[in-house]
């Protein structure tokens, strides 16, 4: 299939590479050209402007924040200006207001938005083991399904209203944050009582908490492997702020979200911008005097 891919960070590059290797005709664009060069070496075409990556049947975007998605979508050289009217598959974790604005703009332009945010850290992306959470018009999703099958292990269909996939993703990311916070509090109390963190983790994952999320983040917390970051604290904070924006607009009080956000602020204030977001567990320990 002739497709475009915009956004070649840690996640995007891994996903794009899988699409190239699956035999798709991929045109890539990235704000900093050096990252695109590596994909070109792997067989991709190079687009000079975002719109040049939107000449095929589908264009996928995987970008760090709302502003980046806005930049490549709206404006003179953005996706919406492409006469090809490709399906826009938005893989990024973005806010609900932007998702609604994208949906509306595509409707006005005669094109279609499919929101398809993914769960998984960079390793999962490289291994094509992502989970895809998709919402949009059924026929558009059907067209995209082969791509989802290439990049992920499973696709979940939420419905035909694209922003609901984004909301599902935000809820999931909030839950991940709440798991990190909960684990950190439990491990800190256990550690004070003489239970090693990895021993506690073994009991938890061996009993009721045997889910990937506890294995992945439990291990990071137990070994304090906060560098290099798989997902930095500022990115985590950005996502929690998107959840807070959605909760605010929906009038839903979420006190645990407040705790997670405050601890991410403390993490960034005390540890800087490059640390993994799970280092909020270090704040929990430090508060307890460790």
Question: In terms of CB distance, is 147 or 165 closer to a second copy?
Answer: 165
5 binds a second copy (CB under 8 A): no
Min dist. Cβ of residue 84 to a second copy (A) = 31
Residue 196: Cβ within 10 Å count:
12
Among residue numbers 46 through 105, which ones bind a second copy (CB under 8 A)? Answer: 96
Extract the tokens encoding 164: 């609901």
Q: How far apart are CA 182 and CA 259, in angstroms?
A: 10
Which of 119, 148, 226, 277 touches a second copy by CB under 8 A? 119
Binding mask 249-268 for a second copy (x = CB under 8 A): -xxxxxxxxxx-xxx-xx-x
Q: Give the C-alpha distances (Å, rounded to integers) separating 121 from 54, 139, 171, 258.
A: 26, 29, 16, 24
Min dist. Cβ of residue 113 to a second copy (A) = 16
The residues facing 130 across adjacent strands are 152
Cα 263 to the center of its chain, rounded Å? 20
Question: In terms of CB distance, is 4 or 117 closer to a second copy?
Answer: 117
Whether 197 sits among the annotated catalytic residues: the reply is: no
Q: Please identify which of the residues 2, 35, 169, 225 carries the catalytic annotation.
A: 169
Among residue numbers 184 through 203, which ones bind a second copy (CB under 8 A)? Answer: 185-190, 192-195, 199-200, 202-203
Among residue numbers 212 through 251, which ones bind a second copy (CB under 8 A)? Answer: 212-214, 216, 237, 241, 243-244, 246-248, 250-251
What kind and span of H or E run contains 89? strand 87-90
Q: How far apart are CA 71 and CA 60, in angstroms?
A: 14
284 binds a second copy (CB under 8 A): yes
How many residues touch a second copy (CB under 8 A)? 79
Where do we find the tokens 């460790």? 290
Q: How far apart are CA 22 and CA 17, in angstroms?
A: 9
Min dist. Cβ of residue 147 to a second copy (A) = 18
Q: Which stretch binds a second copy (CB under 8 A): 22-30, 31-39, 54-62, 170-178?
A: 170-178
Of 40, 43, 134, 128, nearest to 87 by C-alpha is 134
- Alpha helices (H) in 85-211, listed in sequence order: 96-109, 122-126, 138-151, 162-192, 197-206
Question: In terms of CB distance, is 13 or 183 closer to a second copy?
Answer: 183
DSSP string for residues in 274-285: SSBGGGHHHHHH
Question: In terms of CB distance, is 110 or 194 closer to a second copy?
Answer: 194
- Indicate which residues carry an active-site annotation: 169
């Amino acid at each position: 299939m002739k497709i475009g891919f915009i956004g070649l960070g840690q996640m995007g590059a891994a996903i794009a590479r899988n699409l190239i290797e699956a035999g798709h005709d991929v045109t890539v664009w990235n704000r900093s050209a050096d990252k695109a060069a590596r994909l070109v070496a792997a067989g991709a075409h190079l687009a000079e402007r975002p719109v040049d990556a939107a000449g095929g049947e589908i264009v996928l975007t995987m970008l760090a924040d709302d502003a980046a998605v806005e930049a490549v979508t709206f404006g003179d050289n953005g996706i919406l200006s492409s006469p090809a009217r490709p399906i826009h598959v938005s893989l990024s974790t973005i806010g609900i207001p932007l998702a609604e604005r994208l949906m509306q703009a595509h409707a006005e332009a005669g094109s279609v938005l499919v929101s398809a945010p993914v769960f998984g850290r960079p390793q999962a992306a490289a291994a094509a083991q992502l989970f895809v959470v998709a919402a949009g018009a059924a026929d558009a999703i059907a067209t995209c399904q082969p791509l989802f099958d290439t990049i992920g292990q499973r696709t979940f269909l939420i419905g035909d209203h694209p922003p609901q996939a984004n909301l599902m993703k935000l809820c999931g990311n909030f839950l991940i944050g709440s798991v990190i916070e909960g684990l950190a509090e439990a491990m800190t109390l256990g550690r004070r009582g003489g239970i090693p963190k990895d021993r506690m983790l073994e009991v938890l994952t061996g009993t009721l908490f045997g889910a990937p999320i506890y294995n992945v983040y439990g291990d990071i917390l137990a070994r304090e492997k906060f560098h290099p970051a798989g997902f930095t604290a500022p990115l985590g904070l950005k996502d929690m702020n998107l959840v807070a924006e959605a909760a605010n607009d929906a009038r839903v009080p979420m006190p645990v979200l407040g705790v997670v956000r405050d601890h991410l602020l403390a993490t960034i204030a005390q540890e800087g911008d490059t640390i993994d977001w799970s280092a909020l567990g270090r704040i929990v320990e430090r508060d307890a005097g460790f």
